[in-house]
Amino acid sequence: MVCLGNICRSPLAEGIMKTKLPEHCLVDSAGTISMHEGQHPDKRAIAVAKNHGIDISQQRSRPITPADLRNFDKIYCMDLSVMEDVISLAENETQREKIQLLREAAGDTGQRTDVFDPYYGGMDEFEEVYHILDKATTVVAQKLLSANASL
């Protein structure tokens, strides 16, 4: 799960996705910038997750690396600008094919395929992002589970 700062959207996406896949599936998140490296998620993201019974408070922000594109099977991006930056790290077509917008992977075809950035908003925006992520990860997790009998 990849966003810009890895303190708002992708930590939530990681925390929610972990509840929808078997424990042995490695779900992680990262940002395209290193500005918040080492920091815990934004306190509003922690609070929204907690309200829904998910603890993301121990996550730490880290920047995405080229190794992530080798090691992970799927890379889900929160918005187009993030996706462009992640694509620029891809070393070959196999890696390029791993990269998708989360909402597109979930089959959202409307005008909004970005998970909007709640950073400059308030708790209402974080709550809205939580619901967008909850819906998208439900679909994506189902697709992964039905496409991978080994999961």
> Which residues are known to be catalytic?
3, 9, 117
Is residue 2 involved in binding ligand 4NP (CB under 6 A)?
no
Q: What is the strand order of the sheet 2-3 is part of?
A: 30-31, 2-3, 75-77, 99-101
What 3-state class would DSSP assign to 9? Answer: helix
Give the separation between CA 54 and CA 113, rounded to whole angstroms.
Answer: 25
Enclosing H/E stretch for 77: strand 75-77
Q: Judged by CB under 6 A, which stretch of 4-12, 13-21, 69-77, 96-104 contacts ligand 4NP? A: 4-12
Closest residue to bound ligand 4NP by CB: 5
Is residue 3 involved in binding ligand 4NP (CB under 6 A)?
yes
Binders of ligand 4NP among residues 60 to 89 (CB under 6 A) are none
Binders of ligand 4NP among residues 101 to 120 (CB under 6 A) are 117, 119
Give the separation between CA 78 and CA 101, rounded to whole angstroms.
Answer: 6
Is residue 9 involved in binding ligand 4NP (CB under 6 A)?
yes
Q: Select the residue interacting with ligand 4NP from 35, 80, 123, 151 (CB under 6 A).
A: 35
Q: Which is nearer to ligand 4NP, 63 or 119 (CB)?
A: 119
Beta bridge partners of residue 77, listed in sequence order: 2, 101
Cβ-in-10-Å burial (0-12, 13-18, 19+) of 135 comes to middle
Contact positions vs ligand 4NP (CB under 6 A): 3-9, 31, 35, 117, 119
